[in-house]
C-alpha cells in the first residue's frame, strides 16, 4: 500500500484485502476461543477432581481451614492451567516471529538483526529475574490465602463472633491481613510489570535503531517507505513473542508453587494430573454401590499408636457385639475410632479384618463394611434425602430413619425428606442433626457401625429409644460415657491417657478396673439412681 | 523432570486432540497479521 | 440467592455507593493523573518525529539531523514506557487499597446480617462474594485505569492530532471511533447476562467444594466420596457451558471491533492520496497506536463482564437488610449486675412454620431457669430469642427491663452471653480463640479463666491444635467467664463431656451463674441441680413452669416424671 502511496494511488482492492484479513482473523478467534474453553475447563476440572478425590477417598487430608483449601482449588488450579494454556500464544507468536523474520531478512537482514537484538537481551534479563519473581509471588499467594482463610473463619464462626460482639475485632484482623497481602501483591505486580515494560521498551529501542540505520538506505532508495511501514507494523506484533516468553517464564515459578500447594493436599504417591476420565460433555458415571465383601466375623486391632493420643491400644470386636469405648476428656476415645477408620494416621499397630491385615484403613473401613457417625454432625446445603443418601439408592431409607429414632421429627418437618437443610444444617437442632447423621450411616447397612458420642445432644427418652432400636441390628462400636449405654454394652474399653486401662463387661470392670470405678463414681451428678452399681 | 513440567505435560496429554485442535485454531489468528503487513507494504 | 432482576436493579441503584470505597484519596489521585497524562502524551509525540524523519529523509536532509531525530525518538519511547510502568504501579496500589476497603466494608455488612441470612448462605458462597467478586472488581479497576482511561485519552490525543494534520481525515476518524465505541458498549450490555450466569455457576461450584472439603471426613467414612465427585463434575460441566456461552459473546465483540478497526485504517489510507508520505506513515503509526489500547480495552471485556456481574452481586449482598432492626433511639442495658429476663407471650416461626406459641417466662435478676423437654421442642429457639439472634414474631423479650428490639445491640452483646454445644474454634492461637481477636485484660486473666474452666497450663501463644469436643466446650466456657455478662444462656453446654469433665465444668458453671441471671438448657437433668426455676417446653409451648423445689415435691409434675424416667 505504502509503495503505491509513494506512487500516489492506493488501489481499493488492497484496502479491502487489509480489512478482509482482519475480519477472517476475528472469526477464527471466536471459534478458537469458544472451542478452547472446553480444554481449559476440563483441565481445571481434572486438577480439582484429583485433589478432591484424594481428600475424600484417597490418601489426602483436607487442612483444618476449608477456606484455605478452597483458595488453593480456586486460584492455584487457575495458575497451573493458565501456565499450560500460555503455550498456545507462545506457539502462535513463535510461528509469526519466524515468518516475519524471514520476510524482513529478505528486505534487509542487518536492520532485522538490530530490531531483534534488544528483545533477545530483555528475554535474558527476564530469565535472571525469574527466581525473584517466584519468591514475590509465593509470598503474595501465602498472604492471599491468609485473607481467604480469615474470611472463611469469620463466616463459619459468624454466630460465635456475633453473640460475643467481636465483629469489630474480627474486622480489624481482616484489615491487618488485607494490608500485608496488599503490600506483597503490589510488589509482585511491580516486578511482573517491570519485565513487561522492558519488553515494550526493547521494541521501541529497536524502532529507533531502525530509523538510525535505515536513514542512509532510504536516501539511496534501497529501503522504501513501504518497507518502513512493514517493519514498524511487524515490530508491534513481534513484541508478542518476548511478551509470551516473558509471561511463560514469569508464570513458571508461580505454577510450580501452585502445583506444590495442590500436591500438599494430596496423599503420598498420588498424581495431581492423573487422567481420571474427565469428560465435560458426558455425564460423569454414577457411583457404583460398594462391592460385596467378606462379612465381618472379627475385627482385631493390635498396638494402635498415633503421633499424639494413642499408645499401643488393642481392640477386638466380634460380629454382633456392642462395644463401648469410654474414658475421661483427652483419654483418646475419639482418636481411637478415628485411627481405626483411617482418619488419623497410625505410627504403629495393625488392624485385621477376619484375620487379614488392612493396609489402608482409610480406603478399607468404609461402606459396605463400616459406616461412621461423627461427634460433630456435618450436613450439606441440600435436601434431607440427599444428605441421608449421598448417592445411594433409597432402599432401606425408611428403616434407617426409624432405627435412628428420627422418624417422629421427620414426620413433623414441613416437606419431610425433601426439606432443604440450610447452610451446614443450621435449621435442625443439634439432636436432630446427630440422628440424621446416624440415619445416614445406618442406610449404608454396614457390618460395623462406629458412633462417636451420638447421644450427646439427646434427651434421655429419645436416647433410650435410639439404643433400643439400634442394638442387635449390627455390630456396634460406640464412644460414650453414659451409664445407660455402658450398661447395655457387651464389652467396655476404658481408656486412660491413650492406653487401655481395662476391658470387659461393665460389672467386671467395676470390680477390677480402678479408672472405671473412678469414672463411674463421679457419675452423672444429682441422679442418685444411676450412681449405684446395678 | 520437575513436578510442574510433568503436570503441564499431563494436562496437554489427557485430551491431546482438543488441545491440538484448539491450539491450531489459534494459529491463523497469529499468522494473519503477516498478510496485513505485506498488504500494507 | 438473589434473583438476577433484583440484583441488577439494586446493583445499579447502589453502584455509586458501591464504588465509593474504591475511589482513591486526593493525593494518590493527583499522582495517578500525572502519571496517566505522561503515559498518554509521550507516545503521542513519538510519531511526529517519525513523520519528520521520513519527510526529511525524502527531502535529502543530512545524516546528523536524521540521527538527532532518531535519538529523540528513542528517548521519548523509553520515557513513555517508564511512564506506563509508574502508572501501572500507582494504579495497582490505588486499586488494591480501594478493593480492600470494599472487602472490609462488605465483610462488615455481612457480619451485621443476622442468623436468618447466614442460615441460607454457605460460608463458601460468602467467601466467593467477599473475596472472588471483589477481586474481579479490583482487576477491573486496574484495567480501567490503565487501558480504558489511558486508551481513551490516547484516542482523544490521536483524533486531535489528526485534525491538525487534515481536518477531513480527523472528522472521519472521529466518526469512526464513536461508531465503534458505541457498538462495543451496546454489545457489552448484551454480554452482561451471560457473564452473570457464568459467575453464578462458578459460585455454585465453589460453594459445593467448600462444603465438601469441610465435611471431608464424614463423606470418606460414609463412602460418599464418589457421589460428591460426581456432583463436582456435573457442576464443572455446568460452569463450562455457561462460560462457553459468555466467552462466545465476549470474543465476538473483540473480533467485531478488530475488523472495524482494520476497515477504518484501510478507509483512511484510501482517502489519504493527497498527503505526503511522512504524513501517511504518521497516520499509520497513530492508527496502530490506537489499535493496541483498543484491543487491550476489549481484551478486558472478560474482566469487565465479571466485574459488572460481580458488582451486581455485591450490590445484591449490600442490599440485604438485617431482619433485626437497629432501634432509632437505642437504650443500653444496665451496665452492671445481674439482668432480669421477661418473655411476654412470645411467638416465633421459621419460614412460616410456627415453633413457639405464647411463651411467657419471668426471671428476677440473679435467678436461674432450667429449660427441659424433648429435642426439637423449641428450647434452642427460646435461647436464640433471648440472645437476640432473632426477634419474636409476637410478644416481647425484655432483658433488664428493656425490650431487646429497642436495646443498644452492642450492650446486648456485652451483657448477654450464650454458650452452645457447637463451639466454633478458629485456626488461630489459643489467645485469639479466647478473646475472639479483641483486646483483652491481660494474659493473667486469660490464664485464670482457662484454669477456672478446667484447662490449666495452656500456652496462650501456641496455635490451637486438635482439641476434643469436650475441650472445645471448656474453651467456650472460658470465653464466657472472660466476658463477665449479666445474663448467661447455656444451650446444652455439657453435652459432650464425660462425667469427670462435667463435674469440673459444673463447678465453673456454678461460679459463672453466681450473681448472674441464667438460662440453662439441658437434656441431662443432672446439670440442673442448681437452678431456681424449671420450664418444660413441649411442641413450642410451656407445658409446665415453676420453682424447681415445688415441681420436685409434686410427684405428679412432668418434671418429676422426667426425673423418674431418667433414673430408670
- For residues A233 and A101, membership in a common domain is answered with yes
Residue written as grid cell 460452569? C239
What residues form DSSP beta bridges with C227? none
Per-residue pLDDT, C3:
36
Per-residue pLDDT, A313:
93
Q: Is C349 left (phi over 0), alpha (psi -120 to 50) or beta?
A: beta
Per-residue pLDDT, C429:
86
Domain boundaries, chain C: 26-319, 341-567
Task: Pick the residue from chain C with its C-alpha nearest to A426.
Answer: C119
The domain tally of chain B equals: 1
Per-residue pLDDT, C530:
81
pLDDT at A137 over 50: yes
Per-residue pLDDT, C534:
92
- A329·C108 Cβ contact <8 A: no
User: For residue range C288-334, what is the model confidence (pLDDT) as tens digits?
Assistant: 667 666 666 666 665 666 677 778 888 888 888 887 788 888 898 88
**From the CA of A24, how many Å to the nearest CA of chain B?**
8
Out of C239, C255, C292, name the one closest to residue A41 (CB): C239
**From the CA of A182, how many Å to the nearest CA of chain C?**
6
**Quick check: is A34 in a domain?**
yes
Task: Pick the residue from chain C with its C-alpha nearest to A380.
Answer: C211
Quote the longest CA-to-CA distance of chain B.
47
- B34·A230 Cβ contact <8 A: no
**Quick check: is A291 in a domain?**
no
State the number of CA atoms in the 13 A half-sphere of C175 facing the CB: 8
Could you count the other beta carbons within 10 Å of the beta carbon of residue A106?
A: 9
**From the CA of B37, how many Å to the nearest CA of chain A?**
5
**From the CA of B26, how many Å to the nearest CA of chain A?**
6
**From the CA of C404, how many Å to the nearest CA of chain A?**
14
CB-based contact (8 Å) between A518 and chain C? yes
Which helix (H) or strand (E) segment holds residue A400: the answer is helix A397-403
**Which residues from A are below 8 Å from C54, CB to CB?**
218, 225, 228
**From the CA of A472, how many Å to the nearest CA of chain C?**
21
Whether C517 and C365 have beta carbons less than 8 Å apart is answered as: yes
* Cα separation, C536 vs A10, whole angstroms: 97
Out of A99, A256, A272, name the one closest to residue B2 (CB): A256
**From the CA of A364, how many Å to the nearest CA of chain B?**
29
Mean per-residue pLDDT, A308-317: 90
Tallying the residues shown for chain C, one arrives at: 568
* Cα separation, A240 vs A246, whole angstroms: 10
Per-residue pLDDT, A398:
92
What residues form DSSP beta bridges with A501? none
User: Could you list the residue range(s) of the whole structural domain that residue B36 is in?
Assistant: 3-40
Out of A67, A178, A522, name the one closest to residue C104 (CB): A178
- A28·B33 Cβ contact <8 A: no
Per-residue pLDDT, C54:
75
CB-based contact (8 Å) between A155 and chain C? yes
Residue that is last in its domain, among A436, A458, A480: A436
- A229·B8 Cβ contact <8 A: no
- For residues A460 and A527, membership in a common domain is answered with yes
- For residues A307 and A419, membership in a common domain is answered with no
Most A-contacting residue of C45, C118, C220 (CB-CB within 10 A), to test interface: C220
Residue written as grid cell 511491580? A190
Could you count the other beta carbons within 10 Å of the beta carbon of residue C443?
A: 12
Query: Looking at A374-490, which runs of residues are DSSP E strands?
Result: 382-383, 420-421, 448-452, 475-479
Q: What angle do CA A122, A123, A129 make, to 5 degrees?
A: 85
Q: Which of A193, A185, A83 is nearest to A142 (CA)?
A: A185
Residue written as grid cell 414474631? C393
- For residues A313 and A423, membership in a common domain is answered with no
- For residues A365 and A427, membership in a common domain is answered with no
Most B-contacting residue of A17, A23, A84 (CB-CB within 10 A), to test interface: A84
Out of B25, B33, B38, name the one closest to residue A35 (CB): B25
pLDDT at A68 over 90: no
What residues form DSSP beta bridges with A101? none
Per-residue pLDDT, A184:
92
For residue A49, what is its C-alpha cell?
477432581
Task: Pick the residue from chain B with its C-alpha nearest to A231.
Answer: B37
**Which residues from C are below 8 Å from A518, CB to CB?**
500
- A390·C228 Cβ contact <8 A: yes
**Who's near A128: CB < 8 A, 6+ residues apart?**
none
CB-based contact (8 Å) between B17 and chain A? no
**Which residues from B are below 8 Å from A263, CB to CB?**
3
**Which residues from C are below 8 Å from A166, CB to CB?**
435-438
Report residue A526's pLDDT band, with 50, 70 and 90 as the boundaries.
very low
For residue C272, give the 3-state DSSP assignment. Answer: coil
Going by the DSSP 8-state scheme, the letter that residue C356 receives in this structure is E
**Which residues from A are below 8 Å from C127, CB to CB?**
67, 70, 148, 151-152, 155
- For residues A359 and A452, membership in a common domain is answered with yes
Domains C26-319 and C341-567 share a fold: no
**Who's near C387: CB < 8 A, 6+ residues apart?**
A163, C412, C416, C418, C489
Most confident of A220-224, A355-359, C126-130, C326-330: A355-359
Q: Which residues of chain C have a pLDDT value below 50?
A: 1-13
**Quick check: is A239 in a domain?**
yes
Q: What rounded mean pLDDT belongs to chain A?
A: 83
**From the CA of B1, how many Å to the nearest CA of chain A?**
12
**Which residues from A are below 8 Å from B38, CB to CB?**
103, 230
Whether C513 and C443 have beta carbons less than 8 Å apart is answered as: no
CATH architecture for the domain at C341-567: 3-Layer(aba) Sandwich (3.40)
- For residues A101 and A146, membership in a common domain is answered with yes
pLDDT at A69 over 90: no
- B4·A91 Cβ contact <8 A: no
Q: Is C453 left (phi over 0), alpha (psi -120 to 50) or beta?
A: alpha
Whether C103 and A248 have beta carbons less than 8 Å apart is answered as: no
**From the CA of C362, how many Å to the nearest CA of chain A?**
22
Report residue A357's pLDDT band, with 50, 70 and 90 as the boundaries.
very high
For residue C105, what is its C-alpha cell?
466494608
Residue written as grid cell 414441613? A414
- Kindly tell me the burial class for residue A368, based on how many C-beta atoms sit within 10 Å of its own C-beta (0-12, 13-18, 19 or more): middle
Q: Is the peptide bond before C26 cis (omega within 30 degrees of 0)?
A: no
Question: Using H for helix, E for strand and C for coil, what is the string for A481-513?
Answer: CCHHHHHHCCEEEEEECCEEEEEECHHHHHHHC
Per-residue pLDDT, C295:
63
- For residues A187 and A254, membership in a common domain is answered with yes
CB-based contact (8 Å) between A236 and chain C? yes
pLDDT at A26 over 90: no
Could you count the other beta carbons within 10 Å of the beta carbon of residue C16?
A: 8
Most A-contacting residue of B19, B21, B24 (CB-CB within 10 A), to test interface: B19
CATH, residue A302: 3.40.50.300
Quote the longest CA-to-CA distance of chain C.
121
* Cα separation, A65 vs A87, whole angstroms: 34
pLDDT at A244 over 90: no
For residue C203, what is its C-alpha cell?
459460585
Per-residue pLDDT, C499:
67
Q: Which of C190, C215, C250 is nearest to A29 (CA)?
A: C250
Per-residue pLDDT, C9:
44
CB-based contact (8 Å) between A422 and chain C? yes
User: Could you list the residue range(s) of the whole structural domain that residue A513 is in?
Assistant: 298-369+446-531
Per-residue pLDDT, A403:
92
User: Regarding the domain with residue range C26-319, which homologous superfamily does it belong to in the CATH classification?
Assistant: ABC transporter type 1, transmembrane domain (1.20.1560.10)
CATH, residue A120: 1.20.1560.10
CB-based contact (8 Å) between A292 and chain C? no
- For residues A305 and A224, membership in a common domain is answered with no
Mean per-residue pLDDT, A421-445: 79
Residue written as grid cell 439472634? C389
Quote the longest CA-to-CA distance of chain A.
117
State the number of CA atoms in the 13 A half-sphere of A315 facing the CB: 33
Tallying the residues shown for chain B, one arrives at: 41
A219 vs C88 pLDDT, higher one:
C88
- B15·A24 Cβ contact <8 A: no
Amino acid at each position: 500500500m505504502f509503495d503505491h502511496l509513494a506512487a500516489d494511488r492506493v488501489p481499493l482492492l488492497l484496502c479491502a484485502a487489509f480489512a478482509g484479513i482482519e475480519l477472517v482473523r476475528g472469526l477464527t478467534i471466536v471459534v478458537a476461543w469458544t472451542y478452547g474453553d472446553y480444554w481449559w475447563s476440563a483441565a481445571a476440572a481434572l486438577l480439582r477432581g484429583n485433589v478432591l478425590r484424594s481428600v475424600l477417598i484417597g490418601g489426602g487430608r483436607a487442612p483444618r481451614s476449608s477456606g484455605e483449601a478452597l483458595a488453593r482449588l480456586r486460584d492455584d488450579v487457575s495458575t497451573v492451567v493458565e501456565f499450560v494454556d500460555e503455550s498456545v500464544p507462545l506457539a502462535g507468536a513463535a510461528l509469526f516471529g519466524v515468518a516475519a523474520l524471514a520476510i524482513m531478512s529478505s528486505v534487509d537482514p542487518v536492520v532485522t538483526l538490530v530490531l531483534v537484538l534488544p528483545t533477545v537481551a530483555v528475554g535474558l534479563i527476564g530469565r535472571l529475574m525469574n527466581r525473584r519473581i517466584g519468591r514475590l509471588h509465593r509470598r503474595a499467594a501465602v498472604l492471599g490465602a491468609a485473607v481467604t482463610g480469615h474470611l472463611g473463619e469469620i463466616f463459619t464462626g459468624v454466630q460465635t463472633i456475633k453473640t460475643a460482639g467481636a465483629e469489630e475485632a474480627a474486622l480489624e484482623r481482616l484489615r491487618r491481613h488485607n494490608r500485608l497481602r496488599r503490600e506483597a501483591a503490589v510488589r509482585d505486580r511491580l516486578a511482573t510489570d517491570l519485565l513487561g515494560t522492558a519488553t515494550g521498551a526493547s521494541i521501541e529501542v529497536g524502532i529507533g535503531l531502525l530509523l538510525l540505520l535505515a536513514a542512509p538506505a532510504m536516501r539511496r532508495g534501497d529501503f522504501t517507505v513501504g518497507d518502513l511501514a512493514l517493519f514498524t507494523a511487524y515490530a508491534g506484533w513481534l513484541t508478542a513473542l518476548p511478551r509470551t516468553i516473558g509471561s511463560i517464564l514469569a508464570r513458571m515459578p508461580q505454577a510450580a508453587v501452585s502445583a506444590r500447594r495442590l500436591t500438599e493436599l494430596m496423599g503420598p504417591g498420588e498424581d495431581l494430573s492423573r487422567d481420571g476420565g474427565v469428560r465435560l460433555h458426558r455425564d460423569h458415571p454414577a457411583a457404583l454401590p460398594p462391592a460385596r465383601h467378606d462379612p465381618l466375623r472379627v475385627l482385631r486391632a493390635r498396638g494402635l499408636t498415633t503421633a499424639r493420643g494413642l499408645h499401643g491400644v488393642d481392640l477386638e470386636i466380634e460380629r454382633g457385639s456392642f462395644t463401648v469405648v469410654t474414658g475421661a476428656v483427652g483419654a483418646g476415645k475419639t482418636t481411637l475410632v478415628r485411627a481405626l477408620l483411617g482418619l488419623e494416621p497410625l505410627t504403629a499397630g495393625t488392624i485385621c479384618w477376619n484375620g487379614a491385615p488392612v493396609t489402608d484403613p482409610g480406603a478399607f473401613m468404609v461402606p459396605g463394611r463400616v459406616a461412621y457417625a461423627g461427634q460433630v454432625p456435618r450436613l450439606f446445603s441440600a435436601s434431607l434425602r440427599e444428605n441421608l443418601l449421598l448417592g445411594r439408592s433409597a432402599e432401606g431409607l425408611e428403616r434407617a430413619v426409624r432405627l435412628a429414632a428420627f422418624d417422629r421429627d421427620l414426620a413433623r418437618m414441613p416437606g419431610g425428606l425433601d426439606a432443604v437443610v440450610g447452610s451446614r444444617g443450621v435449621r435442625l437442632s443439634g439432636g436432630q442433626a446427630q440422628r440424621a447423621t446416624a440415619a445416614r450411616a445406618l442406610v449404608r447397612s454396614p457390618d460395623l457401625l462406629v458412633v462417636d458420642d451420638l447421644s450427646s445432644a439427646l434427651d434421655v427418652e429419645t436416647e433410650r429409644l435410639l439404643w433400643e432400636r439400634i442394638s442387635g441390628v449390627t455390630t456396634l462400636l460406640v464412644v460414650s460415657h453414659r451409664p445407660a449405654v455402658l450398661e447395655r454394652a457387651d464389652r467396655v474399653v476404658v481408656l486412660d491417657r491413650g492406653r487401655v486401662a481395662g476391658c470387659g463387661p461393665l460389672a467386671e470392670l467395676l470390680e477390677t478396673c480402678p479408672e472405671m470405678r473412678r469414672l463411674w463414681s463421679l457419675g452423672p451428678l444429682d441422679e442418685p439412681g444411676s450412681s449405684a452399681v446395678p | 523432570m520437575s513436578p510442574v513440567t510433568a503436570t503441564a505435560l499431563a494436562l496437554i496429554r489427557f485430551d491431546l486432540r482438543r488441545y491440538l485442535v484448539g491450539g491450531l485454531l489459534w494459529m491463523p489468528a497469529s499468522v494473519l497479521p503477516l498478510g496485513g503487513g505485506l498488504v500494507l507494504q | 440467592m438473589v434473583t438476577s432482576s433484583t440484583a441488577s436493579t439494586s446493583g445499579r441503584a447502589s453502584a455509586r455507593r458501591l464504588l465509593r470505597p474504591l475511589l482513591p484519596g486526593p493525593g494518590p489521585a493527583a499522582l495517578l493523573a500525572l502519571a496517566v497524562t505522561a503515559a498518554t502524551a509521550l507516545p503521542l509525540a513519538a510519531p511526529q518525529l517519525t513523520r519528520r524523519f521520513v519527510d526529511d529523509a525524502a527531502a535529502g536532509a543530512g545524516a546528523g539531523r536524521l540521527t538527532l531525530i532518531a535519538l529523540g525518538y528513542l528517548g521519548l519511547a523509553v520515557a513513555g514506557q517508564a511512564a506506563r510502568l509508574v502508572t501501572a504501579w500507582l494504579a495497582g496500589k490505588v486499586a488494591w487499597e480501594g478493593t480492600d476497603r470494599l472487602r472490609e466494608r462488605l465483610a462488615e455488612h455481612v457480619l451485621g446480617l443476622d442468623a436468618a441470612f447466614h442460615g441460607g448462605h454457605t460460608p463458601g458462597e460468602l467467601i466467593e462474594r467477599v473475596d472472588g467478586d471483589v477481586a474481579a472488581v479490583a482487576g477491573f479497576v486496574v484495567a480501567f485505569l490503565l487501558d480504558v482511561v489511558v486508551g481513551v485519552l490516547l484516542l482523544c490525543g490521536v483524533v486531535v492530532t489528526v485534525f491538525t494534520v487534515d481536518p477531513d481525515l480527523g472528522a472521519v476518524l472521529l466518526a469512526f471511533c464513536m461508531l465503534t465505541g458505541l457498538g462495543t458498549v451496546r454489545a457489552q450490555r448484551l454480554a452482561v447476562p451471560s457473564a452473570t450466569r457464568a459467575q453464578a455457576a462458578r459460585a455454585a461450584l465453589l460453594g459445593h467444594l467448600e462444603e465438601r472439603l469441610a465435611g471431608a471426613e464424614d463423606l470418606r467414612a460414609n463412602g460418599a466420596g464418589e457421589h460428591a465427585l460426581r456432583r463436582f463434575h456435573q457442576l464443572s460441566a455446568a460452569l463450562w457451558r455457561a462460560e462457553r456461552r459468555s466467552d462466545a459473546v465476549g470474543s465476538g465483540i473483540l473480533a467485531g471491533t478488530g475488523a472495524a478497526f482494520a476497515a477504518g485504517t484501510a478507509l483512511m489510507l484510501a482517502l489519504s492520496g493527497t498527503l505526503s508520505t511522512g504524513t501517511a506513515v504518521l497516520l499509520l503509526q497513530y492508527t496502530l497506536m490506537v489499535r493496541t489500547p483498543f484491543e487491550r480495552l476489549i481484551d478486558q471485556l472478560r474482566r469487565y463482564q465479571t466485574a459488572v456481574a460481580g458488582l451486581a452481586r455485591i450490590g445484591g449482598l449490600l442490599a440485604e437488610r438485617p431482619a433485626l432492626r437497629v432501634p432509632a433511639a437505642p437504650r443500653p442495658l444496665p451496665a452492671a449486675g445481674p439482668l432480669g429476663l421477661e418473655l411476654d407471650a412470645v411467638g416465633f416461626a421459621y419460614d412460616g412454620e410456627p415453633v413457639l406459641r405464647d411463651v411467657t417466662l419471668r426471671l428476677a435478676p440473679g435467678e436461674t431457669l432450667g429449660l427441659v423437654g424433648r429435642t426439637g421442642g423449641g428450647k434452642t429457639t427460646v435461647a436464640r430469642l433471648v440472645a437476640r439472634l432473632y426477634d419474636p414474631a409476637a410478644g416481647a423479650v425484655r432483658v433488664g427491663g428493656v425490650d431487646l428490639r429497642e436495646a443498644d445491640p452492642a450492650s446486648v452483646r456485652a451483657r448477654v452471653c450464650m454458650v452452645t454445644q457447637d463451639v466454633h474454634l478458629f485456626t488461630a492461637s489459643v489467645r485469639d480463640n479466647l478473646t475472639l481477636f479483641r483486646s483483652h485484660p491481660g494474659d493473667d486473666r486469660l490464664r485464670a479463666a482457662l484454669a477456672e474452666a478446667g484447662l490449666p497450663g495452656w500456652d496462650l501463644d501456641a496455635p490451637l491444635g486438635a482439641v476434643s469436643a469436650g475441650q472445645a466446650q471448656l474453651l467456650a466456657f472460658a470465653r464466657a467467664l472472660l466476658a463477665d455478662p449479666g445474663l448467661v444462656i447455656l444451650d446444652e453446654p455439657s453435652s459432650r463431656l464425660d462425667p469427670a469433665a462435667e463435674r469440673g465444668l459444673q463447678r465453673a458453671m456454678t461460679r459463672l451463674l453466681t450473681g448472674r441471671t441464667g438460662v440453662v438448657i439441658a437434656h441431662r437433668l443432672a446439670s440442673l441441680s442448681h437452678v431456681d426455676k424449671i420450664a418444660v417446653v413441649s411442641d413450642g409451648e410451656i407445658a409446665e413452669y415453676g420453682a424447681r423445689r415445688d415441681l420436685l415435691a409434686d410427684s405428679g409434675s412432668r418434671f418429676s416424671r422426667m426425673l423418674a424416667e431418667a433414673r430408670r
